[in-house]
């Protein structure tokens, strides 16, 4: 054993066996490493001298090395040599070519890194190719923004002037828009007023000549009225007999038409019969109305339980009237409140129940009684159901009112007279004396004008 071998064996930590065999000695964790040192000749640890020649085929030489050490066909060994060389950087990642470009001959094969083999011609051409063009250096975006901001600095001084001009322009535009809006609203208001005036003109019925309500009494009629109201004679003498209703009016009864007199049932009922005949005589001039007498509401509302439809059920048969109440425009019901006369109107067209009191009062009980009555009456006579809940109850307060304690009956009769004509109540307390004398004249003539 040479000197180097002895040195290596002297470095072991345990003695060799007595028989000199090495099999049992190379056991444990360092067996492989120590075996490599002993079994691999030193000639494989360094490149051969011929490797310095350009004609040396390094690939063939490396491939001839036995791969008992697992060096990957010598590539690992080749990288170790390159690391040991002073001409090649330490720990190269790419062994594209181990020789200089001037030493490469066409057709030769050169070892390449990463387990690749390249044609030396391609390697030479690649080395001789001009370098790729340098990438143009791009200016940072912050520098671009900075230069742009400095460029805009010139217009900063003009901002105030532009803002002032813009505000002035906007103010002028607002003023013009406001003026146009005002003019447009004025035009709309004028047009609306004109339209309303036209509609009001069309909606309002032509004004009736009210002079017919205050026609002066002739001298002849005046003398006759004066005689029946203030003349001598028997107070029980019958002055008028209305045969259709069999109503008699004596001198005593008609004297209730004197000033300060309270109207009685005979005078009121006879005048209502005259109004009924007037409507039948001139149907185009007057509304179609029904006039109940002064006893109707007493019968209807004074039963044992208050409301008593059966007591007045036979008052409105078709045989007696010749028509049904549902066909009427208005139904007049005199209501006597102890010593005061009021009027209730059932408006079939407008679907309302109205209450007129010359003293400005109201009575909810009258509404309830008449509402129940019209439902029962229509169902009994016409076999129809009407929904009274949708009807309205009106207490008319804008009506002529009496200013004393005795003209309530006269006011009630004139309410009926004017409503049956379909005109407004255009009279007042100052006309009551005239209406008393005119009513007396019409009763004596048995004809209402």
Question: What are the catalytic residues?
Answer: 340, 357, 408
Beta bridge partners of 306: 303
- Joined together, the tokens standing for residue 354 give 């109205």
- Inter-axis angle of helices 408-421 and 432-445, nearest 10: 70
State how far Cα 54 lies from the chain centre: 96
Residue in 449, 259, 263 with CA at minimum distance from that of residue 441: 449
Could you give the CA distance from residue 400 to residue 407 in angstroms, rounded to a whole number?
12
| Residues in contact with 125: Cβ distance below 8 Å, sequence separation at least 6, in sequence order | none
State how far Cα 308 lies from the chain centre: 52
Residue in 264, 322, 321, 318 with CA at minimum distance from that of residue 295: 264
If DSSP codes are grouped into helix, strand and coil, which group holds residue 30? Answer: coil
Could you give the CA distance from residue 230 to residue 241 in angstroms, rounded to a whole number?
20
Residue in 78, 74, 77 with CA at minimum distance from that of residue 65: 74
Could you give the CA distance from residue 342 to residue 402 in angstroms, rounded to a whole number?
12
| Residues in contact with 224: Cβ distance below 8 Å, sequence separation at least 6, in sequence order | 441, 444
- Joined together, the tokens standing for residue 402 give 């009496």
First to last CA, the chain: 171
- In sequence order, what DSSP letters do the residues of 377-440 get, joined into one string? HHHHHH-----GGG-EEEE--SS---SSSS-HHHHHHHHHHHHHHT------GGGHHHHHHHHH
* Cβ neighbours around 430 below 10 Å, total: 9
């Amino acid at each position: 054993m040479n000197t180097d071998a002895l040195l290596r064996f002297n470095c072991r930590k345990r003695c060799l066996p007595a028989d000199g065999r090495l099999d049992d000695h190379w056991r444990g964790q360092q067996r492989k490493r120590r075996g490599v040192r002993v079994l691999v000749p030193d000639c494989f640890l360094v490149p051969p001298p011929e490797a310095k020649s350009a004609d040396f085929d390094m690939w063939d030489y490396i491939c001839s090395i036995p791969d008992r050490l697992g060096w990957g066909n010598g590539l690992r060994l080749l990288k170790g040599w390159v690391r040991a060389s002073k001409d090649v950087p330490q720990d190269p990642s790419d062994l594209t070519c181990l020789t200089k470009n001037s030493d490469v001959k066409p057709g030769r094969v050169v070892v390449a890194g990463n387990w690749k083999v390249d044609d030396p011609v391609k390697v030479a051409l690649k080395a001789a190719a001009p370098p790729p063009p340098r990438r143009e250096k791009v200016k940072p975006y912050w520098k671009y923004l900075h230069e742009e901001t400095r460029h805009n600095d010139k217009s900063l001084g003009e901002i105030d002037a532009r803002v002032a001009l813009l505000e002035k322009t906007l103010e002028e535009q607002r003023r013009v828009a406001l003026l146009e809006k005002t003019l447009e609203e004025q035009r709309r208001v004028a047009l609306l007023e004109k339209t309303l005036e036209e509609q009001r003109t069309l909606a309002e019925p032509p004004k009736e000549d009210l002079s017919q309500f205050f026609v002066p009494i002739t001298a002849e009629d005046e003398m006759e009225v004066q005689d029946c109201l203030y003349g001598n004679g028997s107070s029980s003498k019958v002055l008028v007999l209305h045969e259709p209703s069999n109503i008699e009016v004596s001198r005593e009864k008609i004297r209730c038409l004197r000033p300060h007199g309270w109207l009685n049932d005979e005078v009121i009922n006879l005048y209502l019969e005259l109004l009924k005949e007037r409507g039948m005589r001139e149907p185009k001039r007057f509304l179609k109305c029904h006039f109940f007498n002064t006893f109707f509401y007493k019968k209807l509302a004074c039963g044992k339980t208050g409301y008593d439809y059966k007591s007045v059920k036979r008052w409105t048969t078709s045989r007696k009237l010749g028509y049904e109440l549902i066909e009427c425009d208005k139904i007049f019901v005199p209501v006597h409140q102890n010593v005061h006369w009021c009027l209730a109107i059932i408006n079939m067209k407008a679907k309302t129940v109205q209450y007129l009191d010359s003293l400005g009062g109201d009575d909810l009980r009258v509404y309830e009684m008449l509402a129940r009555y019209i439902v029962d009456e229509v169902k009994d006579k016409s076999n129809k159901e009407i929904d009274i809940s949708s009807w309205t109850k009106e207490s008319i307060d804008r009506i002529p009112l009496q200013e004393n304690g005795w003209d309530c009956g006269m006011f009630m009769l004139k309410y009926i007279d004017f409503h049956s004509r379909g005109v407004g109540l255009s009279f007042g307390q100052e006309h009551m004396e005239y209406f008393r004398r005119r009513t007396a004249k019409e009763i004596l003539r048995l004809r209402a004008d």
